[in-house]
């Protein structure tokens, strides 16, 4: 079999888990995917089979669109919902306009440090594996570009992002994390660029 499969990846499995299942189901070794989704992420995972694997590099270079949900008021060690909470902050009342204004500085090209618990490989080994072995790793910094960001529901912030490939949504959430003095009366909680 040759071609592309569009898989609706559920939460809880890695992109490689999906590839492994496709290999087993089709009895075919030549299977790959066009972009890693975190285990917590759900959505479209493009799986290439046989001659379709030759298209992966072209597919990976296209821009992506993401729907994200960010819980404001808590920071975790992994920058995602699975991590241990390392900091909390009171979140003042927000509206969509406030959130979108706070996101404006992120539109365009920016440098972004990858989360240390990610699938990005350093010397052939995923960062998350190195961190879990106790290694002190330096996460790579990459240039990313965000084309648009729109708030859907500001209380448990939901938004739509359109970005170039390689943009880390959870790192973007951390970059836009609450900072001291960004809200009225010195409360923490309003998104602000650091």
Q: Which residues are catalytic?
A: 38
Element containing residue 76 per DSSP (H, E):
strand 74-76
The residues with which 126 forms a beta bridge, in sequence order, are: 121
Cα(176)–Cα(71) distance, integer angstroms: 12
The four Cα atoms 92, 186, 111, 168 give a dihedral, to 10 degrees, of -30
Distances (CA, A) of 184 to 31, 41, 92, 95: 53, 34, 8, 14
- For residue 151, what are the β-bridge partners? 159
């Amino acid at each position: 079999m040759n071609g592309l499969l569009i898989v609706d990846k559920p939460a809880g499995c890695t992109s490689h888990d999906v590839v492994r299942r496709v290999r087993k189901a089709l009895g075919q070794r030549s299977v790959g995917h066009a972009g890693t989704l975190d285990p917590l992420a759900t959505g479209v995972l493009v799986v290439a089979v046989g001659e379709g694997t030759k298209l992966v590099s072209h597919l990976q270079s296209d821009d992506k669109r993401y729907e994200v949900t960010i819980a404001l008021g808590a920071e975790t060690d992994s920058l995602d919902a699975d991590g241990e909470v390392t900091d909390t902050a009171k979140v003042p009342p927000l509206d969509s306009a406030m959130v979108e204004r706070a996101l404006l500085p992120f539109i365009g090209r920016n440098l972004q440090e990858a989360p240390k618990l990610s699938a990005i490989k350093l010397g052939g080994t995923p960062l998350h594996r190195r961190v879990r072995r106790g290694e002190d790793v330096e996460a790579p910094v990459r240039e990313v570009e965000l084309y648009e960001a729109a708030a859907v529901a500001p209380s448990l912030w939901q938004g739509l992002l359109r970005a170039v490939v390689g943009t880390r949504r959870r790192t973007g959430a951390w970059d836009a994390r609450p900072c001291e003095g960004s809200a009225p009366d010195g409360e923490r909680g309003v998104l602000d660029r650091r």
